[in-house]
Amino acid sequence: MARSALINVMVTAATKAGRSLTRDFNEVENLQISIKGPGDFVSQADLKAEKTLREALNKARPGYSFLMEEGGLIDTGSDHRWIIDPLDGTTNFLHSNPFFAVSVALESHGQLVAGVIYDPISEELFTAERGRGAFVNDRRMRVAARTGFDESVIATGIPALNKTEHAVALARQRDIMSRVAGIRATGSAALNLAYVAAGRFDGYYETGLSPWDMAAGLLIVREAGGFVTEPDPDASMYETGSLVAGNEIIHGKLRHLLNKPLPEALQKK
Ligand code: 2AM
Ligand code: CA
């Protein structure tokens, strides 16, 4: 299927940023053995990729607003806003684990209209436009048809140790892991969503996310026929940072489990 002009703009920007990340990723391996480690170098790689994205997008579509992981919000008053994460999966990148991605979404009049997630290591490009379906390297994607919860593989994220949600996340994970075929914590929210869209994960849930971690992936999963929501039907994903994804059945089942009352010690007072 021919790509639209908009998707072409986003793909050009994401692959340019991805090439910059790949070059730096090769360097990170050498820095693992240095005393200081690769931390500062990775921050620079992240900033450089964001600058590349910003410049490419702004050149093709001047004047749009930006919401960026590193640069924050640049509000130009435009009806269009790019939501970008130059390096999703930073911890993987820092540790030379080849599982990270560039994520670019476009919101117009408050609605997600296009999303691109690019994994520069596998060179997989996940794209979607509102109402036009989702694609991986230009092949149509659909979420998995699997409905047996006990056969499903579910992605999740483990919150950083110092976070209060840690105990809650473990309680949820203990409950869910006893009912499914496997749990995967990959370290990239964007790729988790892309993999749900591609039918590689049957479901995904995570807390503590930011809008740029999810924006492109939300549209890609929905355009692949999947469901993504806040676990609480009355809450907004962008506000709470929690989401649950899958096909209709797996999404419903996961959402039900995530809404079960917690042990008393973990309940908010
Ligand atoms: P990042 O790599 O861009 O930081 C890991 O489970 C997922 O959570 C990644 O997509 C990661 O994005 C995201 N995330 C968001 N906030 C985070 C934080 N404070 N610490 C670690 N990961 C975070
Ligand atoms: Ca991120």
Q: Which atom of ligand 1 is nearest to the CA of 213?
A: 10
Question: Is 170 a pocket residue for ligand 1 (Cβ < 6 Å)?
Answer: no
Asked if residue 189 has its Cβ within 6 Å of ligand 1, the reply is yes
Atom of ligand 1 nearest to the CA of 210: 15
* Per-residue confidence (pLDDT) for residue 96, from 0 to 100: 95
Q: Among 90, 161, 184, which is best to mutate for testing ligand 1, by the most ligand atoms less than 8 A from CB?
A: 90
DSSP 162-182: T-THHHHHHHHHHHHHTTSSE
Q: Measured in angstroms, how far is the CA atom of residue 5 from the centroid of ligand 1?
A: 31
Residue in 91, 154, 183 to alter for ligand 1 test, most ligand atoms within 8 A of Cβ:
91
The whole-angstrom separation of Cα 211 and Cα 234 is: 18
For residue 2, report the distance from its CA to the centre of ligand 1, in Å: 33
Is residue 192 a contact partner of residue 213, using CB atoms and an 8 Å limit?
A: no
157 lines ligand 1 (CB under 6 A): yes
Distance 267 CA to ligand 2 centre (A): 28
User: Quick one: pLDDT at residue 1?
Assistant: 66
- What is the mean pLDDT of each successive set of 10 residues along the chain, which is 269 residues long? 92 98 93 85 94 98 96 97 98 96 98 98 98 97 98 92 76 96 98 98 96 98 98 95 97 97 76
pLDDT for position 162: 61
Q: What is the distance between the alpha carbons of residues 223 and 266, in angstroms, rounded to a whole number?
A: 36
Q: Which atom of ligand 1 is nearest to the CA of 88?
A: 3
- Domain 5-140 fold: Fructose-1,6-Bisphosphatase; Chain A, domain 1 (3.30.540)
Contact assessment for residue 223 and residue 133, using Cβ atoms and an 8 Å cutoff: yes
- Which positions ≥6 away from 141 have C-beta within 8 Å? 126, 133, 134, 135, 197, 198, 199, 220, 224
What is residue 258's predicted lDDT score, i.e. its pLDDT? 97
Contact between 74 and 66 (Cβ < 8 Å)? yes
Q: Where are the domains of the chain?
A: 5-140, 149-260
Per-residue pLDDT at 32: 83
pLDDT the model gives residue 163? 63
Other CB atoms closer than 10 Å to residue 30's CB: what's the count?
11
- pLDDT at position 33: 81
Domain 149-260 fold: D-Maltodextrin-Binding Protein; domain 2 (3.40.190)
Task: With beta carbons less than 8 A apart as the criterion, state whether 143 and 43 touch.
Answer: no
Q: Which residues of 162-173 are buried (b: 16+ CB within 10 A; e: fewer)?
A: eeebeebbeebb
Atom number, ligand 1, closest to the C-alpha of residue 209 = 15
Q: What order do you get walking across the sheet with 243-246 strand by strand?
A: 182-185, 153-156, 203-206, 243-246, 227-229
